[in-house]
Structure 1
Amino acid sequence: MHVSRSESHKQDKQRKSRRMKRLLIANISMLAIIGVLVAVFYLTDDGNKKGLDSLPDDQEQGTTTDNGPAADDPGGDGRNIGAEDADAIDGTGEPPSDANASQDGTAGADGGGAGDANGEPANGEAAAPAEEAPSSDSDETSSPPSAGESGSGSSAGDDGAATNDSPEPSGKTIRLSFVGDILLAANVQALMEKNGYDYPYAKSLPYLQEPDLTAGNLENPITKRGTPAQDKQFVFKGTPDSLPALKEAGFDVVSLANNHTLDQGVEGLLDTIGFLDEMGLPNMGGGSDDREAYEPVILEADGIKVAYVGLSRVLPVGSWKAAPDRAGVAEAYGDAKQGIEAIKAAKAKADLVVVMVHWGIEKADKPQEYQKQLGRNFIDAGADLIIGSHPHVLQGFETYKGKWIAYSLGNYIFNMTKTEKTKDTGVLDAVCTASGSCQLQFHPMRSNQSQPVPLEGEQAEALLARLSDISLGATVDSQGYVNAKE
């Protein structure tokens, strides 16, 4: 049938109109579906966030309420195998006297020692077993991701890339890494003798070796002789055979400023320094006099100089303090005048100043007021980063004048205890500019038989959420990045 041009044009317009209507209906339907999917996504994401903020107590704090130090098994060579420590700090802010150990009535959570005459902890609390079976929540078979990646394996963006609200500082940077307390004695030594001296580091090597510089707190003397400290509940002694593996694991510097460095007397302290020097492993915080004890270690990487200063606010007796005519530890009691001067002097020699300080109450989740004030004083003196140890548990982060304070990195390698949260550990990365601006990322781990194992998935998220919860004016996201609260 013949159709006129005008009729044909009219039919074409009708067909186009019908096609446009169908297309419009299809587009509206697609937009509605997309809207529903977006709503479901945000509701689900919000639910996940709420889930992290309301973790049950047994995930946040551990399943035990035990706070007592473990009984130990004193050995003739000082290699005692207790699990926790009752050394206390002086709550007055004054250094302990030469004759008496500092006391504030607070029991500790260290590890290994001499015990009292009855072989029981000094505070009379229940004893913990010296060792435990491997933790069921540690993944023995998992291989750790690169230290530049998150161990949580979660919170990726739409393209699969990890999200990070705080990118690395701009300009030339250096990557510094830190761990908490390192014990190479007692039960840990027995494990190393059985499994090899590299055993403690086996699951976390990339996190130690990939950074430019890695540091930790060495919590025992390294000596073949010495006289065990008297009137001290826990006394350690490690072998120099453990040092090659420590260095090969990636450590570039260790602090000796703590309450165990003189467990074998001045002989033990000087032997420790001698063996570390022989190994080519720099150390600070202890010395043959106060000049050596307060002197920083200055290391350089990529043209950026970093000064490490070691200080202790936890000493059993005043005679452990380094003095002009006495070997000992660099202390930070009272106004910490010598420590402040050491920080100022270090700032004149280096781009960055890191203060590694031993302080706080053992097994406390949050810092004491004196820690907060001391940290601020250090930063006012020129410190760019404060790294704390001694509580044997993780404490949170705080920023002051744009500088970061990590109040405690917990135990890294230590005797196992029945106090669950002493097993929580990790490696802290700090990517810093020469001007002292640092971006922090914490890689969560859990110690299994004195061996840190990187955490992934829900376990990593739970630990990071707890760390965020105990931080002061700061948050820790699901990738471990630490940010100041707005």
Structure 2
Amino acid sequence: MKVRVLALPLLLASCGGPTAAPPPPPASPALSPPAPLSPSAPAPPSAPAAELRLAFAGDVHFTDRTAALLQHPSTAFGPIATTLSDADLTVVNLETAITSRGTEEPKTYHFRTEPKALDALQAAGIDAVTIANNHVLDYGRVGLLDTLDALHSADYPYFGAGRNTDDAYAPLNLTVKGVKIALLGFSQVHELASTWAPGPDKPGVALAFDTNRALAAVTAARTQADLVIVFNHWGEEGNGCPTTEQKTFATQLSRAGADVIIGAHAHTLQGNGWIGHTFVAYGMGNFLWYGDSKSTETGILRLTVRSRTVTAAEFLPAVVSDTGQPTLLEGAKAQSLSRRYSSLRTCAALSPSPA
């Protein structure tokens, strides 16, 4: 299976994001081997696993009112960018094609933007995006190929779609504070799924419906990475409770080796918790959004991870404002949304702690 490996020095200067492995040191002169340890000598201690702070948010695109924000890409996300930048790795769902070409697909909503959108993401401290969703192909395969070209031209990390099947299902591999992280994305949206699937010589989106391939990709990533993260596009729009289809796939991903599962698409928040030792956040809602929606409730999910274990999960409640920008809530409003978000765990059938 093809593996996508990207490292972005331009992202690191501002937000302490993923770092590329340093080049190997020059060869040293031959030295005598060290004397063996005596049987009673303790083994040298291994270096402790680095503690990572990860941040996730939901759907982002630049259309209508949010398109106007690209007049000033450096401030497109507004003050919340400070919080997005304050993580070792920040990931969102980029739900748009980056193209001026192509023909609209036979569907109701169509989103597209210009390459300046990547400047806005970078300025906000967002280190990588999933493009496994139901809008990256809104303008057909021409639009998808333009999107991939724009991402490659900007050297911007992405996952979840590609120029062929292997490329679409390949993980994005990043090294953060010495920890090898694999990110994979899958769409579970039925609309046009049969025609949006990739092929050996056909660009497309990695689909959850090709379950064997999706699970094999996660299992393969598990053998190469210290931490495996899956970002899904799934669920029923407007439903704060995950569907049976979501729950089934989440359980399968957990068994295949996923450590963290994040989701979006339902246009509303869905609950979080654990399936065994896998942390799951079924739905992060809209984040930077163009207009009316099922809900304006949103937020940033901040996870503290050591080794393969999520040791702390913090939800930072926010609302999509009249500009389309997400704004963090404070005081009683923040407490109210935090309580509601916590209550969503019940219908998600997730445990409050790892098994």
CA drift of 1:474 comes to 8.7
1:312 aligns with 2:187: yes
1:427-455 deviation digits (Å, cap 9, x = unpaired): 11111112334421111111112111111
* Contact 2:274/2:354 (8 A) holds in 1: no
Instruction: State the match for 1:190 in structure 2.
Output: 68
Residue 465 of structure 1 pairs with residue 334 of structure 2: no
Name the residue aligned to 2:299.
426
Given that 2:97 and 2:136 are in contact with CA atoms closer than 8 Å, whether structure 1 keeps it comes out as yes
Aligned partner of 1:345: which letter? A
1:266: Cα distance to partner? 0.8
Per-residue displacement from partner, 1:177-218 (whole Å, max 9, x unpaired)?
Answer: 11100112233103433xx22444112112211101111110
Give the distance between the partners of 1:268 and 1:199, measured in 2 at CA. Answer: 26
CA distance in 2, matches of 1:276, 1:187: 23
Q: Is the CA contact 1:208–1:214 (under 8 Å) kept in the aligned structure 2?
A: yes
The answer to whether structure 1 residue 439 and structure 2 residue 317 are counterparts is no
State the Cα distance separating 1:464 from its structure 2 match: 0.5
Contact kept? 1:176, 1:431, Cα under 8 Å: yes
Are the structure 2 counterparts of residues 475 and 427 from structure 1 closer, same or farther at C-alpha, using a change threshold of 3 Å? farther
Change in CA separation of 1:458 and 1:331 when aligned onto 2, cut-off 3 Å: same
Identify the match of residue 380 of structure 1 among 247, 255, 258: 255
CA distance in 1, matches of 2:208, 2:348: 26
SS of alignment partner, residue 79 of structure 2: coil
Question: Residues 200 and 413 of structure 1 are in contact (CA less than 8 Å); yes or no, is this contact kept in structure 2?
Answer: no
Matched, 1:222 2:98: yes
Q: Write the mapping of 1:78-117 to structure 2, written as runs, cut at 5 A.
A: none
Amino acid at match of 2:53: R
Contact 2:64 2:291 in 1 (8 A): no
RMSD across aligned positions (CA)? 2.1
Aligned-residue sequence identity (percent) comes to: 35
Match for 1:291 among 166, 185, 193?
A: 166
The aligned residue for residue 172 of structure 1 is 50
Say which of 89, 93, 112 aligns to 1:237. Answer: 112
TM-score by length of 1: 0.60
Unaligned stretches of 5+ residues in structure 2: 1-47
In the alignment, residue 278 of structure 1 is paired with which amino acid? S
Asked if the contact 1:398/1:473 (under 8 Å) is kept, the reply is no
Note if contact 2:174-2:180 (Cα within 8 Å) is conserved in structure 1: yes
2:242–2:348 CA contact under 8 A, matched in 1: no
Map 1:341-380 → 2, pairs under 5 A = 341-380=216-255
Aligned residues: 306
> Greater Rg, structure 1 or structure 2?
1
**Counterpart residue number, 1:455:** 329
Cα deviations by residue, 1:318-349 (Å, 9 ceiling, x for unpaired)? 11011213110000016x11110110111111
Instruction: After TM superposition, give the deviation of residue 315 of structure 1 in Å.
Output: 4.2
Distance in 1 separating the partners of 2:347 and 2:307: 25
CA contact (8 A) 1:208 1:250 kept: yes
User: Relative to total residues, which structure has the larger strand share, 1 or 2?
Assistant: 2
Contact 2:241/2:347 (<8 A) preserved: no
Conserved 8 A contact 1:176-1:429: yes
Instruction: Work out the CA distance in 2 between the residues paired with 1:376 and 1:261.
Output: 26
Partner of 2:113: helix, strand, or coil? coil
